[in-house]
Structure 1
Amino acid sequence: MTSIPAPCDAAMAATAARKATRHSGAILVATILASSLSFVDGSVVNVGLAAIGNELRASPADLQWVVNAYLLPLSALLLLGGAAGDLYGRRRMFLWGVGAFGVASILCAAAPSLGWLIVGRAVQGISAAMLLPNSLASLGAAFTGEERGKAIGTWAAAGAAAGAIGPLVGGALIDLVGWRAIFLVNLPLVLGALWLGARYLPESHGEGGSKLDWPGAILATIGLGALTWGLTILSGQAAMRGGGWAVAIGATALLLFIWAERKRGDRAMMPLGLFATRSYIGLSILTLLLYGALGGLFVLLPFLLIEAGGYSAVQAGAALLPLSIVIGLASRAMGTLAARIGPRLPLTIGPLIVAGGFLLLSRVDPNGSYWTSVMPGLLVVAIGMAGAAAPLTTAVMNSVDERHVGAANGANSALARTGGLVATALVGSVIASRGAVLVHEVAVASLVAAAMSAAAGCAALLLLEPERMEPA
């Protein structure tokens, strides 16, 4: 999973237009603390995979599930979590989500076996699907006008900072204490978010009163779960039987999900009316490919540096810092530029620059100098992602009818995480490799990521409708 907030997470807050409430500062801090749970946990675990595998004697497929057990429920249930907050109360879902995340973090830290660790990670994913959309909706409800824009900007910057610092702090804890300590880092964030949320967060509901889309949620979970399991099996060095059947079952469940959402119409958690425009289809392809490529990078690069380059966990975490820092610093300027010239050009050029960065990373020598081997590629990827992340939010909001803006933002955010989920499922043979073979496999994966990023840019160029992508 990436340590960078998905592009449309912040836009989900902007769609919750309510009157300003008292204690808006405390609410802002509460939402930042809660959202940081998701960003920190995703980035920290990537740095700890090697240590987890060594202590628990986990196979490459097992290590993939340490990541995907979290991403799967988060991807499948993110929209349902937002709808549950609209129906039952955002404050209630926020507090339940944060509390459950804390319990799951304790379970992960105390896990006696890999199976229990995976269960804890799955509960974390379910909890994140509850707290993330409702923390954002509560943030949008607490601010109005220009203050809402500033609050969303602060939230996004804090999320980027948490994602950047997470691997560094987590790596230090792994080296000094052990991998279990990385899950205990969540507890102060949980306690702070619970205290502020319980004391200052007002209850709010959505305007719709329809029932939750449980059939859609169940089919999406089964589809993504079976697909991920099948791809994980098929990507291993010694592929087991059943992988093809799992992929077929997953694909069938996802087709049934589309059929169920079509029958439910605008009451679906992912209304198919979103895809009535060519622009939204193009943006969905772009998001899936670009964030899939980035998700693979965040899993493979720390693993390569630790296993083949002899980096410590804290050094591997620090190696990723330039990526998050550059994206955090440059995204605001790129958002301003996209507002002036429209998002179509940045969304075409940005992914192509990312592709160039992955081409540079395909030549990484883990035993060479970090400054000449690793950092140049990371910086190019960061510049390209900064050019695409902020304009993507604007483009998604412009690509659909106004009544679908909230659903479009949520669906795009879920697609970003699904891209990381599928990418992680496909790197089994890479994680199973060692030595020179590992270096070669990561180089091949980087070339595939470059092709995915270039295809994302082409999707923006060919499918985004100029009349919908006009400057704001």
Structure 2
Amino acid sequence: MTDPATPVHTAPLRDDRRVVLVVAILASFVVGLDSSVVNVALPAIRQELGGGLVVQQWTVDAYLVTLGSLILVAGSLSDLFGRVRIITWGLVVFGVASVLCAVAPTGAVLIVARALQGVGGALVTPSSLALIVAAYRGAAQAKAIGSWTAWSSAAVIVGPVIGGLIVDGIGWRWIFVLTAVPIAVTIPLVRRISGDVVAGHRPRVDVVGAVLAVVGVGGVVLGLIEQGRLGWGAPTVVAALVIGGLALVGFVPWELRVTRVTGAPLVPLELFRARNFAVGNIATLSIYGALGMVGFVVTLFLQEVWGLPAWLAGLATLPPTVLLLLLSTTVGSFAGRYGPRWFMATGPAVAAVGSLLMVLVGSDPGAYWYAVFPGLVLVGVGISLMVTPLTSAVLGSVPQTEAGVGSAVNNAIARIASLVMVALAGVVLGGEMSVGGFHRAVIVMALLLVAGSVVSAVGIRNTHSRT
């Protein structure tokens, strides 16, 4: 009889390591491409569908709400039913949702379709990284994660420029057709993987926990976004914030109860007993909140205040992603040898300096070369120093059998941090994009990055391998 705690390998994944890495990269490419092209399309979407900043925020956050909430369920499904099967389901859902986004007649339909895309993204994201964790070990794993980070970031490089050209040339709807293309390449490759890792038993999925997560995150985000249109005292806003807050407050007690009764919670809270897992996720909350605001605010500012076309705005925001692509694999190798602590502490601090440098911008686009460009370069260097070590520190602290849910928790926290900061953008910006609002936003980014740096320096412990 199989021990429930023991993973069942249908075939050794290490025999398929190259295919596993390619699949993991392409699956993440799909999710990253979607995120990067949507940001440059927001002004065009607003112009055609209306709705102002609120519709722009929901176009981003509808995706992130379902992604950030359901990624927890997907992590459990990945461990129970296999990484390969869950990735396949996720790619199919994502492809269907992309087509719905492309034909959306109204802002409301687009928002619903974006939420469905988030469901597909939730299924794909934890499984792709969990495949690497299952196939690689030690320093090789850190290097593979570095390659995954770097090449997955190619989507974010291709997305803004090609997406901007598509928006300016044939219209924003075609960007969602673009996101469906990698799916057609990835699914046949997934079928070539001969092995998988599944749990030895199949407990029930924590449905109540999933509902509490979705209602909690979605309610808070709904309140934060809609206050910009309705005001803080509006019944809808108050009800959303109260219900969302109560759901989040009830989430932890429910998870503790499920742990005692069935041993199959949505989030295994015992994972947080591992120091690097707990501290790494606290750092993730702060750092990725800042990075989520960077992507949203800078792209809007370049188009709506400086009047740059979508393709040029996409090109102008590439420095962080280019640096991430160039440096992540090398940083991953060094972090695998020397440990993640000081990489995670130094990276956010460097990025914070870059954020503060962008306070120098005004209404003149010429400020790009002495404020925005060097600021984004420093942000890129900081991200490159931090991302791979952070991922390695978090996932290296959990057992292989829980790699799927461990990856899901970390990804969920990153996405939730981003979506909350995008939801708060209306408060920080004052309802519309302006020079003053942009200055406030980059200061908030810097404060969050500094907080992430301090948490990492104080809390992370090195448990590295020199092999």
TM-score where L is the length of structure 1? 0.88
Question: In structure 1, what is the equivalent of residue 208 of structure 2?
Answer: 215
**Shift in CA distance, 163/414, structure 1 to aligned 2, threshold 3 Å:** same
Question: In structure 2, what is the equivalent of residue 55 of structure 1?
Answer: 48
Shift of 1:399: 4.9
- AA aligned to 1:302 is T
- AA aligned to 1:357 is G
Farther off after superposition, 196-205 or 447-456: 196-205
**Shift in CA distance, 390/238, structure 1 to aligned 2, threshold 3 Å:** same
1:117 and 2:105 aligned: no
**Shift in CA distance, 283/47, structure 1 to aligned 2, threshold 3 Å:** same
Q: Deviations over 1:115-137 (max 9, x none)?
A: 11011101100011112223344
SS at match of 1:395: helix
User: Which of the residues 303, 316, 321 maps onto 1:306?
Assistant: 303
SS at match of 1:212: coil
**Shift in CA distance, 339/175, structure 1 to aligned 2, threshold 3 Å:** same
Asked if the contact 2:13/2:195 (under 8 Å) is kept, the reply is no
The 2-side partners of 1:279 and 1:148 are apart by 17
1:270 and 2:263 aligned: no
Farther off after superposition, 353-362 or 390-399: 390-399
User: Which of the residues 382, 385, 393 maps onto 1:384?
Assistant: 382
**Shift in CA distance, 366/269, structure 1 to aligned 2, threshold 3 Å:** farther
Asked if the contact 1:19/1:144 (under 8 Å) is kept, the reply is no
Q: Where do residues 144-163 of structure 1 align in structure 2 (5 Å cutoff)?
A: 152-163=145-156
1:453 and 2:449 aligned: yes
Question: In structure 2, what is the equivalent of residue 13 of structure 1?
Answer: none
Asked if the contact 2:84/2:127 (under 8 Å) is kept, the reply is yes
Question: In structure 1, what is the equivalent of residue 251 of structure 2?
Answer: 257
Farther off after superposition, 204-213 or 20-29: 20-29
TM-score where L is the length of structure 2? 0.88
**Shift in CA distance, 351/237, structure 1 to aligned 2, threshold 3 Å:** farther
Q: Deviations over 1:183-231 (max 9, x none)?
A: 0002221222223334556565234422212111111011000011111
The 1-side partners of 2:273 and 2:197 are apart by 31
Unaligned runs of 5+ in 1: 1-15
- AA aligned to 2:355 is F
The 2-side partners of 1:373 and 1:94 are apart by 41
Question: In structure 1, what is the equivalent of residue 5 of structure 2?
Answer: none
SS at match of 2:104: coil
Asked if the contact 1:105/1:183 (under 8 Å) is kept, the reply is yes
Q: Where do residues 316-355 of structure 1 align in structure 2 (5 Å cutoff)?
A: 316-355=313-352
Asked if the contact 1:91/1:201 (under 8 Å) is kept, the reply is no
Farther off after superposition, 173-182 or 376-385: 376-385
- AA aligned to 1:390 is T
Asked if the contact 1:51/1:179 (under 8 Å) is kept, the reply is yes
Asked if the contact 1:351/1:456 (under 8 Å) is kept, the reply is yes
Asked if the contact 2:324/2:384 (under 8 Å) is kept, the reply is yes
**Shift in CA distance, 65/35, structure 1 to aligned 2, threshold 3 Å:** same
Question: In structure 1, what is the equivalent of residue 393 of structure 2?
Answer: 395
Q: Where do residues 124-143 of structure 1 align in structure 2 (5 Å cutoff)?
A: 124-139=117-132
Q: Deviations over 1:221-275 (max 9, x none)?
A: 1100001111112355854613233222112101211111112225212111122
Asked if the contact 1:430/1:438 (under 8 Å) is kept, the reply is no
The 2-side partners of 1:385 and 1:279 are apart by 19
Shift of 1:401: 6.9
Asked if the contact 2:150/2:328 (under 8 Å) is kept, the reply is no
SS at match of 1:267: coil
User: Which of the residues 414, 418, 421 maps onto 2:419?
Assistant: 421
**Shift in CA distance, 393/140, structure 1 to aligned 2, threshold 3 Å:** closer
